[in-house]
Structures are given as structure tokens and as C-alpha cells.
Amino acid sequence: MAVIAASVLPCSTSAHLLPFSLSSSSSSSSYVPTRSCRVAGGGPAVSAMAGCGLVVRLGALRRRKVLDLGVLSRRSYYSGSRSGSALARAVWKQEVLWAEAPVADIGRASEQHFQLVLDVSGNRELMDGHTRPGQFVQVKVGDSKPVFLAIASPPNVAAKGSLEFLVKSVEGSASGLLCSLGKGDRVELSQVMGNGFNVEQVAPAEDFPTVLLFATGSGISPIRSLMEAGFDAHKRQDVRLYYGARNLGRMAYQDKFKEWEASGVVVVPVLSQPDDDWTGEQGYVQAAFAKTKGIIKAAQAGAFLCGHKEMAQDVTALLLADGVPKNRILLNF
């Protein structure tokens, strides 16, 4: 599910549930406004990187903090404490409008994730609201807490009446409740929110030969939406996706890798705890990128990130150090 994760909320798997208190919703299919929400939460921003050389290289840039991005809030910031840890705070003040939608399909996407498809064909606002990869919605079942989910499908799927999501199943949580639903069950979801990825920053393709994509866990959701919406990857010289998970069993969308490769994206799976027979990249996404990055022309490169905060921080620092302009290191909020 996405950290806002999210992913700034969860792209990572640990931050999907937020302590929101919303007014009760209506059972009608039209939107019902509720009170706006304020959220505060977070924890230490501790680097997951290994290797002294890379840590030294990043040291001067580590103050740039980035939250998990699978699903996100409108505004976010970090404030450091005396102990050196960072506290994440997010504020969402947009009015939330609720509508009902039935589950069109649901099934396993990995050992931990479910693919959830909602039928929004009866709601023109939802069909028209998804205009850019990286946008998200809030979803809830009855009086459950809302879950912030990045939309995993491209906008043209919404225009046909469906929204797809990657949801992490956590027992006893609101996301776990979503994963327990069956076809035909009904949920409530908000209007489509967020600005999404600013793809125009790396257009036209001929002027930006290198585009790098980074995702961990359910942070793959908005990145999938981006790739399947298309950004002329086949017209660029170097387009890579660094996609991290604990092992292959927890890596969603493996059945789509060939499709993404055919569109011009080189897929680099990175496993932090692989099986003994794994011969691909091991460890963390940021370390795999640091080892093999080789950016052709940094000043003409761009990047899209969604995932754990440590990955986003460290990859951002590496990109800035190599000369990639800050305004072309793009998050989905």
C-alpha cells in the first residue's frame, strides 16, 4: 500500500494508517463533504545504507529529508530533535468528499500485497479526477479509519471506469480490512487528490535522455502508473527502474516487468534478503544505484522517487551530488 506510502504519507509499508477522525459518511453514491484532517506522526529518520564510503559521501547532504511517498499529504516537513532524529509531520486541509464504489476485483499481488480494483464507472468525478500519475485517494470501509492509497493504474484506466491500488495486508488494520473484501463489496473513497508527478519537468524526451525511477515496497504503485501512462521512455537513451523489496515473494507486479521493458524501461530488481539462488542486485536500492549509476548527462537527467524515507533521502543526495537539478528530482505530491 502506498506512504504515503504514499509515498508526505506512506509508500512504505509501515505508514499506511493515519490517526484521522472523520465525520460519518453517507450511503449515497454522491460525494459527501466531511471535516478536513490534521495528522501528526513519524519517527527517527535513520539511514538504511551500508558502507562507510557512501555514508561519508552523503554526510553533507543528509539534512534534506524526504518522507515515504506511496501516498502523500499536501505539505510535509521535518524538524530535528536534540538527539539528531527527525520528526515527520503532515498537514492535509483539503475538504474530503466521500462516494461509494463496489469492488470490481481483488487478488494477491505478492505475499504481502493485494491488487484492489474499484468500479468508479458510476461516478463521473472519479473517472475524470485522475489526470496525472502519482495522485491518490482515501479509502475506508464503513466507519474504519481511512487509508491513503496511491493510484496504481494510469489515468486512461480511470477514464474507462476503474481505479487500481496495491494494498499491503496488515492484520487488524484498516488496510487489512480492505484486503479481506470480496468482489461486489462496497467501500467509500474520496475524490482524487494531489498534484501527482510533474512529468513536464522531463519533457520533451529528446532534451532529457536520462530518467531514473526509484521505488520500494508499495511505492511501486505511483511509479507503475507513471510507466504505464507513458513518458516516451523509448525515445530516451537511459531509463532505469530500481525497485526494492525484501525478496521476490514480496515484490509485486513481476508479471509486468516485460511490458515495462518493452516500453523502454530497464528494470533493476533489488532484494535486501534474497534467497540463495538470487543472482541479481542485493541490498538496498540506494546502494545499487550508487554502484551502477553512470548518468549520461546529469544536467539533462530527471528522477521519480517513491518509497521508504531513507531510500528517498539517500538517492536524492546522490543525484544532487552528481549535478541533477533539484527541480527534476520528482515526488508525487
Half-sphere exposure (CA, 13 Å, Cβ side) for 324? 25
Contact 192, 225 (CB under 8 A): no
pLDDT number for residue 95: 86
Spell out the alpha helix ranges (H) of 237-293. Answer: 257-262, 285-292
pLDDT digits (tens, 9 = 90+) for 128-176: 999 999 999 999 999 999 999 999 999 999 999 999 999 999 988 999 9
Q: Is the pTM of this model over 0.85?
A: no
pLDDT digits (tens, 9 = 90+) for 246-294: 999 999 999 999 999 999 999 999 999 999 999 999 999 999 999 987 7
pLDDT number for residue 5: 38
pLDDT number for residue 53: 39
Contact 14, 112 (CB under 8 A): no
238 pLDDT band, cuts 50/70/90, is very high
Q: Are strands 266-271 and 210-216 parallel, antiparallel or unpaired?
A: unpaired
Phi, psi of 189 (to 5 degrees): -135, 155
92 pLDDT band, cuts 50/70/90, is low
pLDDT of residue 195 exceeding 70, the answer is yes
Answer with the residue of higher pLDDT: 139 or 23: 139
Contact 36, 92 (CB under 8 A): yes
235 pLDDT band, cuts 50/70/90, is very high
Contact 242, 289 (CB under 8 A): yes
Average pLDDT, the chain: 79
Residue 223: which of 279, 142, 152 has the closest Cα? Answer: 152
pLDDT of residue 62 exceeding 70, the answer is no
In the block, which residue shows the cell 462516494? 99
Whole-angstrom distance, CA of residue 313 vs CA of residue 106:
33
pLDDT number for residue 225: 98
212 pLDDT band, cuts 50/70/90, is very high
93 pLDDT band, cuts 50/70/90, is low
Spell out the alpha helix ranges (H) of the chain. Answer: 52-59, 124-129, 155-159, 174-179, 220-229, 257-262, 285-292, 309-321
Whole-angstrom distance, CA of residue 109 vs CA of residue 268:
19
Query: Bridge partners of 198?
Result: none
pLDDT of residue 192 exceeding 60, the answer is yes
Share of the chain above pLDDT 70, in %: 72
pLDDT number for residue 333: 75
pLDDT number for residue 178: 96
Residue 207: which of 325, 311, 333 has the closest Cα? Answer: 325
